[in-house]
Amino acid sequence: MTTIDEIYAAINPMPAMLSAKGKVGPVVSLSIEANARIMLHLRWTKSGARNDWDCDYQSFIAETADKAIEKATGFIVALPDAGTARLHDFMGQLGKVIDAGRDLGIDVDYLNPLTDTMKRLAENVITHQPSDAAA
């Protein structure tokens, strides 16, 4: 890749790729700093964020734009699908609620159903094998 148009053609689809993986408000940028390498940055709004600046980031540093783009594309492709990402987010939030309940001394009669739900969700995630049509 040697022209700006080629770089644009390579990075312009990335926000849509991130959106397809459930990332909200994705931004992709490529920067070149003097005496440094090329850096490709991915940014998206954190799940449940209450502020525009509450974001997750991933950066890829390489000697060439091609290599940085290749690394970023591989990262995006490896992300779980949007449904799985939402399930993992929910499980994380549920786990925090269970921990908070234990810390506050909440009666186990209230926590046990939540704990059982968490176990079932975890088992489903571990044993779920998407069909070839979904992959």
Across 40-58, average pLDDT: 88
Burial class (CB in 10 A: 0-12, 13-18, 19+), 16: exposed
CATH fold, domain 4-78, is Double Stranded RNA Binding Domain (3.30.160)
- For the chain, give the percent of residues with pLDDT over 90: 44
Q: Which letter does DSSP use for residue 1 in this model?
A: -
Q: What is the mean pLDDT of residues 24-36?
A: 91
pLDDT band at 135 (very low <50, low <70, confident <90, very high): very low
Contact (Cβ atoms closer than 8 angstroms) between residue 59 and residue 79? no
Average pLDDT (2-13) is: 92
Distance CA 21, CA 13 (A): 13
Is pTM beyond 0.85? Reply is no
User: Looking at residue 2, what is its pLDDT?
Assistant: 73
Assess whether pLDDT exceeds 70 at residue 133. no
* 14 pLDDT above the threshold of 70: yes
The DSSP element (H or E) to which 74 belongs, if any, is helix 65-78
